[in-house]
Structure 1
Amino acid sequence: MSLLRPALISRAMAVKSLTRPTARLAYTHVRALATVADTVFPANKAAPKPAHSAPYQFDASAPKATPAALKLKSGHVFTGTSFGAQNSSFGEAVFTTSLVGYPESMTDPSYRGQILVFTQPLIGNYGVPSQEKDQFGLLKYFESNKIQCQGIVVNDYATKYSHWTAVESLGEWCAREGIPAISGVDTRAIVHLLRDQGSTLAKLEVGEEVLENKEVVEFPNPNERNLVSEASTKEIYELNPMGDVKIALIDCGVKENILRCLVARGAAVTVFPWNHDFNKDMDQFDGLFISNGPGDPRAAMPTVNNLATAFKNPNPKPIFGICMGNQLMGMAAGLGVYKLQFGNRGHNQPAINMQNGRCSITSQNHGYALEDSVLTPGKGLNGWEKYFVNANDGSNEGIRHLTKPFSSVQFHPEAKGGPQDTEYLFDDFLNLARAEKVKMSSKPFYTTESLIKEVPKPVEVVA
């Protein structure tokens, strides 16, 4: 111990002698290495050794970076360089605080029509995985089969990726799917703007002329479109048909991991388009699931009307909704909706369970919320009460019926990536559906009748 102590003191003095300017210079060198032009390396192979080791040396043969700019409707312009598709796009600029999971976020149908700003500074460092599917035929690493957002905005694009599942770079993926991407902008400043003035319409512009192009453009609002219809399936399909309990799922833009959470628990899931009238078919199913989805829930009024009819059924089947499903169920129950200033998007949103007071950390992605002020303690609306409440802003995070097997949540219990604190809600729903199946199976499905036929008495004829 006595021999070790002088060595420790010597090391401490050496660290203390490191001046602040020297430390800053070392940090600058590291960041310079992370901002070189994009270089693609085959998956699972080491990158070639550089021809030089000086941190500020650049490959003279590397292609020149294409200028890009994020132009907000408010008039603010953020310039950087393009690392995705060489085309421009419009959308609603929103931000996510997620630290991981950019492939899942970008393929989440709830981001349809939006330009996604990442608050995590470094994006792209683990590349993009393959379109591999699991045993249920669902994508293992994505939430849908394509990029759903209109574009992405990052502070520092990682030019070299490293991960055992990666098959291409983030830049390659964006370019292949026609999605513009910009790097080198101050995403902190963008987030401050969006938090102060609210989510705003934007254009992500790519090309040499982005700085000279001063013309005023019309910013189309994606929320004026029926984004639910765009994201929903066009055909009915089944998953895990041999499951022990049958669930009808209304696809408003469902995530792959929601489907996985159901079928992995033994459910047979039939997926219907967003406007399908499920009331005609509910005798064939043990439960109904309303999925997440993008845009303004008021564009999906056919689903709201179908839910209102289902709520009046004297023999109701269990119904559960997530995200958009929460808003549609709330509207069918008589609640209103409103647009949040900047939405809740990320993996760290606290939701308090009003039944037991427990707070769970949840994954969220929504720009609208239910107006639930009429659901005060001890006073509900048509038998409905608050289920979860956001601990940050007090917005609605779920509703439940007092006597019927109906409930919904605004957050994502399936969370991929993100916390799995509330994944038990899938078990709760399927347990209700299985109980419904047992109840229905105990009822006779035939009418008993006597097999002995009475012989009619002969009619006596009086002469």
Structure 2
Amino acid sequence: MKYKQRKKAILLLADGTVFEGKSIGSDGTAFGEICYNTGMTGYQEIFTDPSYFGQLMLTTNAHIGNYGVNNDEVESDSIKIAGLVCKNFSFNYSRDNASNSLENYFEKENVMAISDIDTRAVVRYIRDKGAMNAVISTNTNIEELKLELTKVPEMKGLELASKVSTKEPYFFGDATSPYKISALDIGIKKNILRNLAKRGCYIKVFPYNSTFEDMKSFNPDGFFLSNGPGDPEPLKEAQLVAKKVLEENIPLFGICLGHQIIALANGVSTYKMHNGHRGINHPVKNLITGKGEVTSQNHGFVVKREDVENHSELEITHIHLNDDTLAGMRMKNKNCFSVQYHPEASPGPHDSSYLFDEFIENIKSSK
């Protein structure tokens, strides 16, 4: 069993609350909005999900790192979380097909992490007080860290898609596939592209600030708006893309941040949640079929349900059963639908994968 001497580290919340722990690797400091994920597995997918950019991830599962990491289980080209907070960090791993240890993975990507934190206490605290900015550090000078923390911008109003989007367009899938998709990358996950490709799509992925004209030049059969980090409201260019796609009634599908962009394009508002939904066990009801779905979710903003209920051209299709927030919608007079959760994640069950099939059926019916 590997053993190493580890330095004291702290988690400091924006309201001055302090939790003590130990550093995982090298000395350092990391800032971001603290949030928690309730998933029992899938930590590598979480850490590499662009939607978590700028956030300190607190994992509620007691053991992190026990199955190592695998090069094939990433959602982007690097770790996207600002830092990790956990209870027990496993320096050793037992999975045969692991590529490396989580410790080495963090060290390679220079990501700050601390363990031995009372994560149950932290979760209970921020569930009551709400998500807030925080800092993790091996620097235990509280007053110094408090001063630095005041300089960190709030998540509300923060545009982060530009930090994670591709810089240049690229292609994914088989060029001989029957369907062509223009995808706007505002934080896209690799598994979304895989799900589209295996359903006969050849995808051209465009940077976050691409115009409708840029994306239409690919002559696509459908448009896709991806997931991503930050507040959807500042993404005016993406909202304009959605408006123009809707004007031409080209099949449109949005997930998470993309779902929020479609709402804003229709004059529907979004708001920052008290805590958000992050985990792989969130219950959703499909109001069209009456069926329940166990879903993977990761969002701190949500579409205002009342606005959709009062909108003449929108219809609610899915609701979150824990708090009745809006989880999906479609347009009554346009070839467009979107969901707040992640059908590509398939957290054990594949309850939501049918949404990709619906997108393909929409494309077929419009051709």
**TM-score under structure 2 normalisation?**
0.94
Q: Which residue of 2 aligns with 1:338?
A: 271
Identity of aligned residues (%): 37
1:281-317 alpha-carbon deviations (Å, 9 max, x no partner): 437110000000001001211111221222222xx11
Equivalent position SS for 1:373: helix
CA distance in 2, matches of 1:288, 1:96: 30
Q: Which residue of 1 aligns with 2:80?
A: 148
CA distance in 1, matches of 2:56, 2:215: 38
Q: Does 1:348 align with 2:281?
A: yes
Larger CA Rg, structure 1 vs 2: 1
Q: Give the superposition deviation at 1:382.
A: 4.1
CA distance in 1, matches of 2:189, 2:163: 14
CA distance in 2, matches of 1:251, 1:85: 33
Equivalent position SS for 1:166: coil
1:217-268 alpha-carbon deviations (Å, 9 max, x no partner): 2320263542111111110111122211001101110000000000011111
Q: Does 1:114 align with 2:55?
A: yes
1:369-408 alpha-carbon deviations (Å, 9 max, x no partner): 00120333xxx52411111111111111011011321000
Match of 1:372 among 282, 305, 311: 305
Q: Give the superposition deviation at 1:347.
A: 0.6
CA-atom RMSD, angstroms?
1.6
**TM-score under structure 1 normalisation?**
0.75
Equivalent position SS for 2:20: strand
CA contact (8 A) 1:253 1:293 kept: yes
Match of 1:297 among 218, 232, 235: 232
CA distance in 2, matches of 1:230, 1:327: 18
| Structure 1 unaligned regions, length at least 5 | 1-35, 40-61, 131-139, 438-463
CA distance in 1, matches of 2:14, 2:292: 37
CA contact (8 A) 2:269 2:303 kept: yes
Q: Which residue of 1 aligns with 2:172?
A: 239
Within-5 A mapping of 1:76-155: 76-130=17-71, 140-155=72-87
CA contact (8 A) 1:239 1:263 kept: yes
Q: Which residue of 2 aligns with 1:254?
A: 188
Q: Does 1:394 align with 2:324?
A: yes
Q: Does 1:424 align with 2:354?
A: yes
Match of 2:11 among 49, 70, 80: 70
Q: Give the superposition deviation at 1:111.
A: 0.4
CA 146–117 in structure 1, closer or farther in 2 if over 3 Å, else same: same
CA contact (8 A) 2:223 2:245 kept: no
Equivalent position SS for 1:261: helix
Runs of 4+ in 1 over 4 A off after TM superposition: none
Equivalent position SS for 1:428: helix
What amino acid is aligned across from residue 37 of structure 2 in structure 1? T
Q: Which residue of 2 aligns with 1:172?
A: 104
Equivalent position SS for 1:326: helix
| Structure 2 unaligned regions, length at least 5 | none
CA contact (8 A) 1:257 1:416 kept: no
CA 373–213 in structure 1, closer or farther in 2 if over 3 Å, else same: closer
Q: Which residue of 2 aligns with 1:226?
A: 159
CA 276–171 in structure 1, closer or farther in 2 if over 3 Å, else same: same
